[in-house]
Amino acid sequence: MKSQYRVVVIGGGVVGASVLYHLAKLGWSDVCLIERSVLTAGSSWHAAGGIHALNADPNIAALQAYTIDLLSDIEAESGQNIGLHMTGGLTMAGTPDRWAWLQSAYRTFQSIGIEDCRLVTVEEAIALNPIMSGDGLLGGMWADREGYIDTTGTVHAYAGAAKKHGAEVIEHNRVLELNQTLQGWEVVTEKGTVTCEHVVNAAGLWAKQVGRMAGIELPVSPLNHHYLISDTIPQLEDIDFEVPMTVDLEGFTYLRQDQKGVLLGIYEIDHQHWMMDGAPWEYGFELQQEDPDRIEHELTLGFERYPCLQEVGVKTWVNGAFTFSPDGNPLVGPVPGKRGYWSACAVMAGFLQGGGVGKSLAEWMIHGAPEADVYGMDVARYGVWAENKQYIKETTGQFYSRRFVMTYPNEQLPAGRPLKTAGAYADMTAVGCQWGQSWDLEVPLYFAEPGFAETPSLKRSNAHDIVATECKAVREAVGLLDITGFSRFEVSGPNAESWLDRIMASKLPKPGRARLAPMLAEDGRLKGDLTIFNWGDGTWWIMGSYYLRAWHLRWFNDHMDEGVTVRDLGEDTAGFSLSGPASKTVIEKLTDGPVGELPFMGCGAFDIGPLRCKVGRLSVTGELGYEIHCRAGDHATLRRILLEAGAGEGIREIGFNALLSLRIEKSFGIWNAEFTQGYTPGMTAMDRWIDWEKDFVGKTAARAERDGNGPAQIQVTLEIEAEDADASGYEPIWAGEEKVGFVTSGAYGHTLGKSLAMALVNTEHAKPDTALSVHVVGVERAAKVIPPSPYDPEGRVMRV
Q: Are residues 243 and 298 in the same domain?
A: yes
Q: Are residues 611 and 748 in the same domain?
A: no
Q: What is the pLDDT of residue 57?
A: 76
Q: Please give the torsion angle defined by the CA atoms of residues 275, 276, 278 and 282, in that order, rounded to the nearest 10 degrees.
A: 0
Question: CA 33 → CA 280, 345, 499, 569, distances in Å?
Answer: 20, 15, 38, 40
| pLDDT, tens digit (0-9, with 9 covering 90-100), for 47-75 | 999 998 777 677 888 888 899 999 999 99
Can you tell me the distance from the alpha carbon of 542 to that of 503, in angstroms, rounded to the nearest whole number?
A: 12
User: Looking at the DSSP assignment, which residues form a beta bridge with residue 208?
Assistant: none
Neighbours of 377 (CB within 10 A): 29
Q: Are residues 675 and 632 in the same domain?
A: no
Q: Are residues 490 and 354 in the same domain?
A: no
Reduced to 3 states, what is the DSSP secondary structure of residue 28?
A: coil
Instruction: Determine whether 618 is exposed, middle or buried from the number of CB atoms within 10 Å of its CB (0-12, 13-18, 19+).
Output: buried
Question: CA 323 → CA 206, 223, 295, 317, 328, distances in Å?
Answer: 9, 6, 19, 20, 9
The residue among 648, 683, 707 that closes a domain is 648
Task: Judge whether 468 lies within some domain.
Answer: no
Are the C-beta atoms of 142 and 117 separated by less than 8 Å?
A: yes
Question: CA 603 → CA 81, 599, 608, 616, distances in Å?
Answer: 65, 8, 14, 4
CATH code for the domain of 205: 3.50.50.60
DSSP string, 295-315: THHHHHHHHHHSGGGGGS-EE
Region of 608 (left: φ > 0; alpha: ψ -120 to 50; beta: rest) is beta
Supply the range of the domain harboring residue 747. Answer: 670-799
Q: What is the pLDDT of residue 286?
A: 94
Q: Are residues 39 and 150 in the same domain?
A: yes
Question: CA 283 → CA 12, 37, 42, 152, 188, distances in Å?
Answer: 14, 9, 7, 17, 20
Q: Are residues 575 and 707 in the same domain?
A: no
The residue among 648, 683, 699 that closes a domain is 648
Predicted TM-score (pTM) of the model is 0.96
Q: Are residues 260 and 303 in the same domain?
A: yes
Tally of residues, the chain: 800
Q: Are residues 211 and 302 in the same domain?
A: yes
- The secondary structure element, H or E, covering residue 585 is helix 583-588
Are the C-beta atoms of 743 and 669 separated by less than 8 Å?
A: no
Ordered strands of the 651-653 beta sheet = 603-608, 611-616, 625-631, 573-579, 478-482, 651-653
Which CB contacts under 8 angstroms, 24+ apart, belong to 214-218?
Answer: 214/178, 214/180, 214/185, 214/335, 214/338, 214/341, 215/338, 216/335, 216/338, 216/341, 217/384, 217/387, 218/331, 218/343, 218/345, 218/346, 218/379, 218/387
Can you tell me the distance from the alpha carbon of 342 to that of 335, in angstroms, rounded to the nearest whole number?
A: 6
What is the distance of C-alpha 303 from the center of its chain? Answer: 35
Q: Are residues 631 and 691 in the same domain?
A: no
**Cα Rg, the chain, nearest whole Å:** 27
Q: Are residues 640 and 701 in the same domain?
A: no
Non-local (6+) Cβ contacts of 111 within 8 A are 58, 730, 731, 732, 739, 742
Q: Could you give the number of structural domains in the chain? A: 3
Spans of the chain below 70 pLDDT = 56
Q: What is the pLDDT of residue 58?
A: 76
Task: Judge whether 449 lies within some domain.
Answer: no
Task: Judge whether 389 lies within some domain.
Answer: no
Task: Judge whether 312 lies within some domain.
Answer: yes
Strand 31-34 relative to strand 168-170, pairing: parallel
Q: What is the dihedral sign for C-alpha 703, 704, 705, 707?
A: positive
* SS (HEC) of 679-694: CCHHHHCHHHHCCCCC
Q: Are residues 560 and 614 in the same domain?
A: yes
Can you tell me the distance from the alpha carbon of 510 to that of 491, in angstroms, rounded to the nearest whole number?
A: 15
Neighbours of 566 (CB within 10 A): 19
Q: What is the pLDDT of residue 383?
A: 96
Can you tell me the distance from the alpha carbon of 373 to that of 503, in angstroms, rounded to the nearest whole number?
A: 20
CATH code for the domain of 545: 3.30.1360.120
Number of H helices, E strands in the chain: 19, 37
State residue 430 phi and psi, 5-degree precision.
-65, -25
**Farthest-apart Cα atoms in the chain, separation:** 88
Can you tell me the distance from the alpha carbon of 204 to that of 45, in angstroms, rounded to the nearest whole number?
A: 12
DSSP string, 440-484: TEEEEEEE--TT--PPP-SS--TTHHHHHHHHHHHHHSEEEEE-T
CATH code for the domain of 748: 2.40.30.110
Task: Judge whether 412 lies within some domain.
Answer: no
Can you tell me the distance from the alpha carbon of 374 to that of 73, in angstroms, rounded to the nearest whole number?
A: 23
Can you tell me the distance from the alpha carbon of 214 to that of 337, in angstroms, rounded to the nearest whole number?
A: 11
Region of 529 (left: φ > 0; alpha: ψ -120 to 50; beta: rest) is beta
Alpha-helical segments (H) within 238-388: 296-305, 350-367
Task: Judge whether 163 lies within some domain.
Answer: yes
| pLDDT, tens digit (0-9, with 9 covering 90-100), for 371-420 | 999 999 999 999 999 999 999 999 999 999 999 999 999 999 999 999 99
Are the C-beta atoms of 535 and 541 separated by less than 8 Å?
A: yes
Q: Are residues 611 and 690 in the same domain?
A: no
Task: Judge whether 159 lies within some domain.
Answer: yes
| pLDDT, tens digit (0-9, with 9 covering 90-100), for 598-622 | 999 999 999 999 999 999 999 999 9
Burial readout 512-542 (b: 16 or more C-beta within 10 A, e: otherwise)? bbbbbbbbbbebbbbbbbbbbbbbeeebbbb
- The secondary structure element, H or E, covering residue 225 is strand 221-230
Q: What is the pLDDT of residue 265?
A: 97
Q: What is the pLDDT of residue 267?
A: 95
State residue 266 phi and psi, 5-degree precision.
-135, 130
- Cα angle at 382 between 53 and 566, to 5 degrees? 130
Task: Judge whether 450 lies within some domain.
Answer: no
Q: Which amino acid is at 246?
A: T
